[in-house]
Structure formats: structure tokens, C-alpha cells
Chain A
Amino acid sequence: MKWDEFFVTGDPLIYGAMVSIVLVSLAILFGLTYYKKWGYMWREWLTTVDHKKIGVMYIICALIMLFRGGVDALMMRAQTAAPEMKFLTGQHYNEVFTTHGVIMILFMAMPFIFGLMNVIIPLQIGARDVAFPKLNAISFWLFFAGAMLFNISFVIGGSPDAGWSAYFPLASIEFSPTVGNNYYSLALQISGIGTLLTGVNFIVTILKMRAPGMTLMRMPMFTWSVLITCVIIIFAFPVLTIALLLMMFDRVFGSQFFTMSNGGMDMLWANLFWVWGHPEVYIVILPAFGIFSEIISTFSKKNLYGYGSMVFSMVIISALSFLVWAHHFYTMGQGAMVNGFFSITTMAIAVPTGVKIFNWLFTLRKGRISFTTPMLYSLAFIPIFTIGGVTGVMLAMASADYQYHNTMFLVAHFHYVLIPGAVFAVIAGFHYWFPKVFGFRLNEKLGKIAFWFIAISFNVTFFPMFFLGLMGMTRRTYTYSAETGFGPLNMLSMVGAVGLAIGFVILVYNIYWSTRYEPRDKTGDPWDARALEWSTPSPVPVYNFAVTPQVKGRDAYWFSKKNNEPLSDEKITKIHMPSNTGKPFILGIAFFFLGFFLVFSWWIPSIVAGVAVLIIMATMSFDRDHGYYIPVEEIVQTEQKLRGDTV
């Protein structure tokens, strides 16, 4: 292989990206060396098993990926803003929308949610850490290895170009001969293992590590949503892993699972992909529902309305999510009866979702609603998501879908679901829980300016797409002629996209500004909130709770504040904590190289990396590290420092 085949060449945009990647990497290396932070990085972050730090790392990655996916989005909007634009070539456009989809779903929305889960779930259930802290670190580093592997594709070897759904035979070696889709199958497999492990870890954590007295029906709604999400993960992700494995065999080893000959079935891929792909939507949406439930309840100063039906509706949604996958290809020709069945199951999802919307509205009723930044995102979610929901019902009608399928109408719909449902949720959660992790709030004024930019620009960007779809504009079209009349609405959409970008820039600036100037919070409970995570000081000490809280009902912390009863009357005893380990990080590196070598079919290096992976896993299983104890005096000191009083 020649060097000019190895690196992507010939496009000034990509040269620019290469230069900036090199510069940023050098800047990071130089900064770490200059400020003598290598040891700190290793001890505090790379080897950490602390769920809070792992969560923070997930969220930092997610923000970087949001930037990457956002730049992709802007490039797409720019290319289609006017007829016959010459900004990107067809091939480049195809790579850009493919990576936009994969990154936004798998490397932005999911890690952002995993980050919030990691930080908050153990705190909400009154636990010291997750059930398997070391496994948690492995999950993170596998996700990180997968994300990095996927991201280098656009400078080394070329990005996948067959859409985020990678339909066969288009994604087969015959029609997509570059290594792009090898990256797709390997990066997603590696990060997928991490996701599956997270699912297992959090199910065990939530089922086994709740504070005494916290029965299942006393859990905060976010914890419930994460529990159900993790159940979906452990059922859905194995399907993806197998599908990707078969894809890898097809592309790298010449098997014929999804090809056009020797018994290959292209539509088998589509089925397997969506058997995972549809539940995946709920994997990102259900935790969002949980986040909104927490925030709406906190800022209405009321308990969540219809708790039981909220839980029940999530269980129903998770079950139905596995029964709807064929609605992604009504047009495959499977006939009216099959389509009718999937139409009905799909529309049925609207029922539990509607129940949730009404429960949120009635949580607001008789409340005292304060419009903080997290609350603004949660409130904007309701009307926007409802548009996404009702257009979803329209798409669910198989007959009508013959006209919406593959058009911009569909694109508008799923952005109307995923942006309020997932992005608004994680931003709301980010603002809401930020003071818990860092000990100060994000600035409210800047937060609100960013919110209005994002909420209004979102509608300007995506509402025109409903009309573009009905006008007959298909998705994934890199160019169109002036006669089609698609121009003006696409230009409007471009204007909205720029507004969204400005909103996100303000959001990031707010992080910087608040870090420098925002006053520090001494209470640990700046929002006057309800769940257990607010009962411990901010930033949360490594052991989370000096003494394990005793739970007597829902909104345990709220009632302990109101009735002036402490959450626990036990004495502080020494606390058992897990020790740090560097092996998950090293395992992640080994997996990265295994994936990278397999992408290029370099067999000898692949075998070496594969053996390295096995050796690291073997040594991990012989680890005899039983953790360490934090002595009582140290806990007392920390608590005094953080609370400014005696415990």
C-alpha cells in the first residue's frame, strides 16, 4: 500500500483537518509536559475507577464528538443550501452524512447519557460506586478506543460512505471498496462491547447496591429509566455485535452473508441492523425521559405525577421497541399484512409516550415553576418532542410511509425526536448536575441565551424539512437542480444550522466563563432538589456518602430537608474503596490497534495485537487487589472541609 492510499489526499478540507489534528495533539502533549501533569493524568484519570471521573471523561468525549458531528452537519447544510453547490463532492458528502449519523448516535448521544448515568446513578441510589468499578473503566476505554478508531478514518484510509445504516450490498466490498466500512464494523464492535458491559454493570448496580429502604418503587425516575435502558442494551447490543461481526467477515475474510451471491441476503442485514437500531433509539430516549422527570419535578417543587404509570409506560415502551423494527423498511415489499402488524405495534408506542407527556404536564400543575436553564430545556422538550411524536405516528402508517420513506420528511421527524429527546435532555442534565460534580453552577444568563439560540434555530433548521420531504426531496442527496424548487427551504435550514452552531458555541463559552467567575456552591444542593445525590457535598468526595443514607420513601432527600430529619443517624466507619488500575486503559489501546490492523487486513500485526488483548485480559483475571480502606479521621476531615461544619 502506498502512502497516498493510506492517507486521504486531494481535499483541502481534509488537509486542514489533518493539520489541526496534529496541532491539537502537539498542544496537548506539550501542555501536559510543560505543566508536569503526566503523573496527574495517569493517577487521577487514565487509571481511575471512580464512577464520577469516568462519567466526566464520557461527557468530555461526548462534547468533542458533538463538535465533530456538528461540523459534519454544517458541511451538509452548506452543501445543500442552494442548488448545484460545489462545496463537497458526492463521495465526500456521502462520507460526511455517514459519519454524522454514526457519531451523533453512538459517539455523542450514548456516551453523554452514559456519562450522566455514571456520575449520577450511584449517587441517586446511595451507593459508593458501581457494582464493578474496574469493568466500568474497561467499558469507558473500549468506547474510547472505538470512537478514536472511527474518527481517524477520515484522514487515514477514508471514512465509511454507505450511510449510518450501512445497507448491503452497498456496504459490501464490491460497492464500497475503500476501508471505510471496515472502520465502521470494527469501531462499532469495540465500542459495542463496552456498551454491553455498561448495561450489565448498571443493572447489577441498580438491583444490588441501593441504599437500605430504597425499594424499586422508591427509586428516582432517572434510575428507573436507566435500569430499563440497560435491559434494552443487553438484549439489543448482541444483535448489533453479531451483525457487525458478519459484516466484518464479509468485508475482510470474503464470506458471503449479505452479498448478492452464494446465498447472501442483503435484506438480512437490514433486519438485523434495525432489530438493534430501533431499540437503540429508546436506549438514548428513555434516560432522557428520566432526566426530564427529575428536572421538571425539581423546578415545579412537586413530586412526579403518576410515578407508577411513568414506570409502567417505560416498561411497555421497552417491550414494544423490539416489535417495530420492520417499520424502517415497509417498502421492502413484504405485503400489506406484515406492514399492518408493524404499523400497529409502532403506533402503539405513542400510547405510553403520551401517558408520559400528560404526567409531566400534570406535574407542572399546581406547582411553582421556576425557569432555570435546565428547566427551559425540559419545557421546550414537551412541545417539540410532541411534533416529533405525532409525525412518528404519521410515518408509522405503512401506506403513507410509502411516500415519506427515504425523504427529508423522515429526516425532519427523527431530528424532532432525537434533538429534544436526547440532546436537550443531556444538555439539561449537564446544566442540572454540573454543580454536583464541580461545585459551581453554569451561569444562568449565558445558559438561557444559548437555550434560546438552540431552541429557535432548531425549529428553523428542521421544520422546513417536513415540506422538503412532501415536495419529493430524498434524503442523502448531495445536490439538486434549481427547477426542483428545493432551494429556498434548504437555505432557510442552513440559516437555522448556523444559529444552532452559535448556540453551542455560547454553551461551551459558558463552561469556560463559569469555571472562572461563577460563585462556588457550599450547600451541595443549589437547586433545592429532591433525590439523594443532592444530600452529599459538592464536589462529591471520592466515597460519595460519609454514611449510607436510610431511605423511607420517594424523594428521600426532599422529605429529610422538609421534616428536618437526617438521612442517617449512624456513625462514620471506615470505607472500603476499589483501587485504581491502569489495565483497562492499556486494554483499550490494545483493542484500538487490533481494530486498526484488522481494518487494513495487516495480519501479523493483528495477531500480535489480538494476543496482547488476550494476555491483558488474562492478567486482569488473576489480579488480587481487594481495594483499600479510607480511615474514619480522613472522612471526618473531608466532610468538615466540604461542608464547613462538623458531622
Chain B
Amino acid sequence: MNKRGPLFALLLSFTLLLSGCSSLTVLDPKGPAARTLSDTIIFSILMMVGILAVVYALYIFMLTKYRAKKSNEGYEPPHEEGNKWLEILWTAIPILIVAVLSVVTVKTTVAVENVPEGYENQEPLVIYASSSNWKWHFSYPEEGIETVNYVNIPTHRPIEFRLYSFGTISSFWIPQLHGQKYAMSDMITKLNMVADEPGSMMGRNANFNGEGFAHMEFEALAMSSTEYDKWVQDVTETAPELKEDEFKKLLETAHVGRMSFSNTHLEFSPPPSEDHHHGGDVNGNEEHQDHKDVHPDPATTEETEFDSETNVDPNEPLPNFPAEESPNHQHDGH
């Protein structure tokens, strides 16, 4: 009468896992951040399988040995209050396991929040990924170009995605490069990642945000830096310019295909933490409030955990914008 279903399922899961992770996107990383996460996941699975094995072994033993049979009719089970040492044992061992997992968690969390190891000295390529119902806008301030629903990135170069939203909370996710992070209307969040091999990857919004959510996908295409430069040049030369009123219309359109533009919307609809009018009181500026539907007011959040002032990071100069500076202005490095 044992409950064997989960056991079989578990075995099945392992055969599947071992037979190859290629269909399990999350365990098929194409960059260091996702690789850290994939390793963490596999490590935790192995640890958990160990725990399950102990519990299941005890469980099967108890159920087979102590079930009511004809032969033990009249058997009077003893009165047992408990056992101090056993109880200490099965408190202490889980504490140890949790301690190990805590160390792993904190280390890997710090690792994936930062620029991946080995790439710290390179200047990251900054891409603003902003979401609107139900599209992704990718702005490349450095190159002065913008795309919709696809993002091309060079391999072996750290990419810093800066995320914000023109409305609902969405979650930016390219599972083969990194885990997800929310894009919200009133702040900027950052994701650091590197692609270490070229190829096309699925990217999408992971956080439910209404009717068109299921289709809010984009393609992330990693390519060598020469190909990337060529693509940037192509877009700069051939793509149309994005005008403010067109952009407003675009924001209101629910679903569009891929688009490319030879400038960025940041020029006329800046993420306001970069705009010194709005320093300090994020919500008090009336001029900004009037345009909030189109011009959200994200303030940067650096990793200042307990810091309620989301706006200011004294140690880091805020990046400027091509709109206000020369078009070739280099980004302030990190």
C-alpha cells in the first residue's frame, strides 16, 4: 500500500535529466550568469534528492514493517513520548543543510547580480529594455538605435540591461542568458549578462500583465562583434527615424512585429533619473506627472538594499544622454 507514484516520477525525472538537458531551456545556458544559475539548480536538485531518499526510505520501512496484519492482531503499540536525541538530530541536520544552501544562495545571488567574472574590466554595452502592453522596446543609447521585439547583442561583451515599463509590471527574461527581473514604471532595474556563444534565444516577459501577455516574446540574437557592428551600421543607415508622435502611437498599439529605428525614444521620452529636473522628489514634479502616461519616471535603484532613496547613488555619476550631449558621447563607465 505504499504510495509509489512520486518515486517513479522522481526516477523518470532523473532519466530525463541525465538523457540531456537540451529541451530544458533553463539548464542549457549560453552565458556565465545563466550557467551559474543552472549549476545552482542542479546542485540543489541533487541535495534535495538526497533528502527525499532518506524520507522515502524511512517511510517505506515504517509502512511495511508496522502495518496491521493478521499476525499482529492484539498487538498493543507502546506509549512513546519522543526521544530528545533523535529530535535534536533531525533538527540539527536540516539546519546544517539550510546553512550550506544559504551560503550557496548568497554567493550565487551576488555573483549573478554583478558583471560576470572575467568581464569586469570591459565596458558594458548599455541597452534600455522598456516594456509597454505588449511589446519590448530596446534602446541602444551608445549606438543611437532602437529596436522593437528583438534584441541583437555582441558575444563576449558584458551587457547591462536597464529595465523599466510604460505601464504594468513585466519581467524581462532570457532564460539562456540570465534569470528574470521586473521592469516597473517608477524605477530602473538592472541585469548584467554576457553571451558566450552566438545564436538565437527565446526572450519574453514572464510576469502576467494582461490580455496580450502570452504573445509578449522577443528574440535575443547573440552574434560576433564584427557582425554586430555591421548590423548597427545597417540599422543606422537604413532604418527610419522614430518621431515622438509615432512613438506614442506605437505605445498604444497592442501587438507589433519587429521594428528598427535609427534613433532612440530616450531622446524625447527619457528615463527621468538621468534628467536632472526630476532629481530628489520622484513624484512631486508636476510637469513630469502630466506626461506620466507616456513618460514614466524611473529612478535608478542600485544595490542599496535598505536605502529608501531610490534615486541617488553618490558614488556613481549618472549616465548622460545622447539627446543632450553629442551623438558620439561615450557612456560613463562602471
Contacts and interface: CB of A to CB of B under 8 A. Distances in A.
Interface in B158-176: 163, 167-169, 171, 173, 175
A261 B62 CA distance: 60
B153 interface: no
Interface stretch (A70-78, A475-483, A627-635): A475-483
A305 B67 CA distance: 17
Interface stretch (A127-135, A241-249, A389-397, A532-540): A389-397
B79 A302 contact: yes
Contact of A463 (B9, B91, B179): B9
A97 to B, nearest CB: 9
B94 A350 contact: yes
Contact of B66 (A267, A364, A386, A390): A364
B305 A338 contact: yes
B98 A331 contact: no
A359 B58 CA distance: 12
Nearest to B9: A463
Contact of A406 (B27, B180, B189): B180
A305 to B, nearest CB: 5
SS class, residues of chain A in contact with chain B? helix
B304 A471 contact: no
Contact of B63 (A94, A369, A480): A369
B256 interface: no
Contact of A455 (B3, B72, B90): B3
Contacts of A475: 208
A348 interface: yes
Given A266-B186, A369-B66, A459-B9, A383 B55 contact: yes
B269 interface: no
A455 B26 CA distance: 29
A355 B90 contact: yes
Interface-central residue, B45, B51, B90, B189, by most chain A CB under 10 Å: B90
A368 B76 CA distance: 8
Interface string B279-302: 000011000010011001000011
Interface string A348-380: 101100110111011011111111000010011
Nearest to A380: B3
Contacts of B59: 361, 382-383
B259 interface: no
Contacts of B56: 383, 386
B314 interface: no
Given A399-B36, A405-B179, A466 B13 contact: yes
B129 interface: no
B109 A339 contact: yes
B131 interface: no
Nearest to A339: B109
Contacts of B204: 472, 474
A266 B75 CA distance: 62
B30 interface: no
Contact of B109 (A267, A340, A477): A340
A594 to B, nearest CB: 30
Interface in B93-120: 94-95, 97-98, 101-102, 104-106, 108-113
Nearest to A394: B44
Contact of B184 (A266, A306, A358, A399): A266
A5 B36 CA distance: 52
Interface string A568-607: 0000000000000000000000000000000000000000
B26 A403 contact: yes
Contacts of B26: 403, 469-472
A368 B187 contact: no
B5 A456 contact: yes
A129 to B, nearest CB: 33
Contacts of B292: 260-261
A11 to B, nearest CB: 15
Contacts of A339: 109
Given A266-B186, A407-B206, A472-B175, A300 B66 contact: yes
A344 interface: yes
Interface string B194-235: 000000001011111111111000000000000000000000
B58 A400 contact: no
B179 A399 contact: yes
Given A351-B95, A361-B62, A467-B16, A399 B108 contact: yes
A466 B9 CA distance: 11
Contacts of B316: none
Interface residues on B, range: 35 or more
A167 interface: yes
Contacts of A303: 79-81
Contacts of A163: 208
Interface in B231-259: none
B304 to A, nearest CB: 7
Contact of A403 (B5, B37, B105): B37
Nearest to B82: A306
B135 interface: no
Contact of A397 (B23, B44, B90, B202): B44
Contacts of A262: 283, 289
Contacts, number: 314
B178 interface: yes
A355 B87 contact: yes
B98 A351 contact: yes
Interface string B25-40: 1110000001011101
A390 B51 contact: yes
Contacts of B157: none
Interface residues of A, number: 101
A306 B87 contact: yes
A513 interface: no
A178 B155 CA distance: 46
A394 B302 CA distance: 26
Nearest to A308: B82
B77 interface: yes
Contact of B91 (A170, A351, A401): A351
Given A336-B303, A367-B66, A399-B108, A90 B211 contact: yes
A467 B27 CA distance: 11
A108 B94 CA distance: 33
B101 A358 contact: no
Contacts of B82: 305-309, 359, 362
Contacts of A263: 283-284
A400 B40 contact: yes
Given A369-B63, A394-B45, A335 B210 contact: no
B181 interface: yes
Contacts of A407: 206
A265 B298 CA distance: 12
Given A305-B82, A336-B303, A91 B5 contact: no
A63 interface: no
Interface of B: 1, 3, 5-7, 9-10, 13, 16, 23-27, 34, 36-38, 40-41, 44-45, 48, 51-52, 55-56, 58-59, 62-63, 66-68, 72, 75-83, 86-87, 90-91, 94-95, 97-98, 101-102, 104-106, 108-113, 133, 163, 167-169, 171, 173, 175, 178-182, 184-187, 189-190, 202, 204-214, 283-284, 289, 292-293, 296, 301-306
8 tightest A-B CB contacts, nearest first = A402-B179, A333-B189, A335-B303, A306-B82, A390-B48, A399-B108, A476-B208, A472-B25
22 contacts: A162-B210, A170-B168, A260-B167, A261-B293, A302-B80, A329-B182, A331-B171, A333-B190, A334-B305, A335-B304, A338-B306, A344-B106, A358-B87, A365-B66, A368-B72, A383-B55, A386-B55, A386-B56, A390-B52, A399-B111, A455-B5, A477-B213
Given A331-B171, A471-B25, 11 more contacts: A169-B185, A175-B209, A266-B184, A305-B82, A306-B83, A335-B302, A379-B1, A390-B51, A402-B181, A406-B208, A480-B214
